Amino acid sequence: MFLKKITNLSFAILFLITACTTTTLEQNQKNHCKKVSDEKVVLGKAEWVYINKIKKNLKARIDTGARTSSLSAINIKRFERDGKNWLRFNIPSKDGKQSKTIEAMILRNVTINKTTNKKQNKGNTRPVIKLQVHLGNISTYTEFNLTDRSQMVYPVLIGRSILQDRAIVDVGSSFLFKKYKQKNMAK
């Protein structure tokens, strides 16, 4: 009889622990602001990223395997301004419309190597720029290499440089955060 009571009590404690954990996770997901112990934000495998320069939210895939983030760009034109290298480009959209023209200073060029079927492909060189973004509750300037991603599902790929010491990725979830809404400064 005593053993049966202990067994029942053990199951009751296990049930309560499981129920509390499940409730906490569900509440965090509903709040769109999951946090972990080190105050790192939990992002899904896909999230909305707001790019200040175009005042628009874009779908982004979170890729911890990529160092630098990548942004879909077309009509890339290089030019010189005040002795520095700049470029002008558009971000394509799925409806065929182009965003306004964006101009940014080139920080550097990177060579991206892709590995397919265990063969190393020769990389292509891409310009790198810096843009201000909002990703979840992270607001920062980050580097993007530019390439035409218009044939891809996500126009933005978020690399680990923006995530480091700020976020972890829950690959079983997507869009844990709502689209960013810019606060209206004018009254």
Q: Which residue has the tokens 């990703």?
A: 135
Report the pLDDT value the prediction gives residue 157, as an integer from 0 to 100.
97
Q: Are residues 142 and 55 in the same domain?
A: yes
Q: Are residues 91 and 104 in the same domain?
A: yes
163 Cβ neighbours under 8 A, 6+ residues apart: 43, 62, 64, 169
**With 50 as the cut, is the pLDDT of residue 103 above it?**
yes
Task: Tell me how far CA of residue 77 lies from CA of 64, 80, 89, 104, 170, in angstroms.
Answer: 29, 10, 6, 11, 37
Kindly report, residue by residue over 2-12, the tens digit of the pLDDT: 555 555 544 44
Phi, psi of 115, rounded to the nearest 5 degrees? -110, 120
CATH number at residue 148: 2.40.70.10
Task: Tell me how far CA of residue 47 lies from CA of 4, 137, 174, 186, in angstroms.
Answer: 49, 11, 6, 28
Q: Are residues 99 and 149 in the same domain?
A: yes
Kindly report, residue by residue over 41-86, the tens digit of the pLDDT: 999 999 999 999 989 999 999 999 999 999 999 999 999 999 999 9
Q: Are residues 27 and 92 in the same domain?
A: no
**With 70 as the cut, is the pLDDT of residue 182 above it?**
yes
Q: Are residues 114 and 78 in the same domain?
A: yes
Q: Are residues 95 and 125 in the same domain?
A: yes
pTM of the model: 0.74
Backbone dihedral region of 136: left (phi > 0), alpha (psi from -120 to 50 degrees) or beta? left
Kindly report, residue by residue over 121-180, the tens digit of the pLDDT: 567 899 999 999 999 999 999 999 999 998 899 999 999 999 999 999 999 999 999 999
Q: Which domain holds residue 127?
A: 35-170
**With 60 as the cut, is the pLDDT of residue 23 above it?**
no
Count of domains observed in the chain: 2
Domain-embedded: residue 60: yes
Report the pLDDT value the prediction gives residue 141, as an integer from 0 to 100.
96
Domain-embedded: residue 185: no
Report the pLDDT value the prediction gives residue 97, as an integer from 0 to 100.
72
Q: Are residues 25 and 40 in the same domain?
A: no
Asked whether the beta carbons of 157 and 61 are under 8 A apart, the reply is: yes
Helix, strand, or coil (residue 151): coil
